[in-house]
Amino acid sequence: MEVGGEVVFEDLFPSMVEKLGAEGFLKELFNGFRLLTDGETNVITFESLKRNSALLGLHNMSDEELRCMLNEGDVDGDGCLSEMEFCVLMFRLSPDLMDKSRMLVEDIIVNHF
């Protein structure tokens, strides 16, 4: 959503977790990652993010803003996002989900391991 020329993101992740459960939410997160990846390398590159950003409603973002998004999650400095980097970034960008992530991880461990 854009407010006064500034992009404002509404954090829908906590409600998604409540609705889908931990496993369903993670499945949707992985599906989102796959939508944004480069088909050949299976990582999110600047080019794949730019090409697929409209799927996220980010078609008005500049190249610089897209690069900043990519750099924010690029832990190993390779210029792209792996599935793990993407998931960590999504959790970091959701303050409510960060607070609930411990419960989410515990739920996954108890029910799946």
**Mean pLDDT per 10-residue interval, the chain, length 113 residues:** 51 73 82 89 94 80 90 94 89 70 71 70
Contact of 28 with 16, CB cutoff 8 Å: yes
* pLDDT score recorded for residue 101: 62
* pLDDT score recorded for residue 100: 62
51-71: per-residue pLDDT in tens?
888 877 777 888 998 899 899
Which residue, 102, 92, 82, is CA-closest to 22? 102
**Global pTM value:** 0.70
* pLDDT score recorded for residue 78: 96
* pLDDT score recorded for residue 79: 95
φ/ψ of 86, rounded to 5, equals -60, -45
* pLDDT score recorded for residue 3: 47
Beta bridge partners of 3: 6
* pLDDT score recorded for residue 6: 52
